[in-house]
Structure 1
């Protein structure tokens, strides 16, 4: 049975939260607040937080900064995953991926479908890995952030989760560079 193995010690990870929005600031960033609150309540470390415009270069630049920062293990973004002309978060994420985690989008859509039905089809949530950093892009709604965290990330970012989780393989993400 999948679940938390209480015999294992919790290992906090350092998570940066990125909000992609042309209109939000820190004072009204409810989705970013939701992610920051949930990850710290789970025992993880909020490594950094930023808001960038719906702009490919701005998003990519912030991702590259955090990917290069050894004090950031994970980036979770909110916003810019839809279908409108300004929604370029998935394209920015894909431009820095070394490996995509295809199952993330599939599982996100399954969880989202239970809440919003076929409207989930309008989301382009995505995840991948770059230079040992996990990258997760969630839609901008608070509900989608809750679904992504509560349904997937709180488990996969918990070392105690069995049968497997993202934390236990972190030391191996860059083994191809050690040859």
Structure 2
């Protein structure tokens, strides 16, 4: 009897023919254009080409956040054979009200190996020829931007020769 009651109060099984609820939607929040210094190449380590790209500044604009990118952050990358690049960027934003926001932005960039090499050399590449997505997290004090700690974000990146543009979306 107890087993039957426990089974009836259990979470219902997920439908085998589709999701149990509607898919989340994305809402555009803001864009970052980060300016970059030349790449620091570390070389081949543990099967991947390790690089560091210093962030020198930039701008933040959009309906949910405006401000600047503070100099001093960077993007740590590992280019793996076969066209996969692992990305881990860390930097600070400064909102127009003076609030400093820490960003940790891991992600991946994938493309054909020749496209990855063009990007690595700083060449102009059509963004439709590569996949560049991240899952940013924000650390910010209580106040007008604390909402950033209470949302899940995804972002799309576009690499330019001297900068990167990241469009941030909240998952609703």
- TM over 0.5: same fold? no
Query: Greater share of strand residues, 1 or 2?
Result: 2
Which structure has more RCO (C-alpha within 8 Å, separation ≥ 6)? Answer: 1
Query: Greater share of helix residues, 1 or 2?
Result: 1
Question: What is the TM-score of this pair, normalised by structure 1?
Answer: 0.28
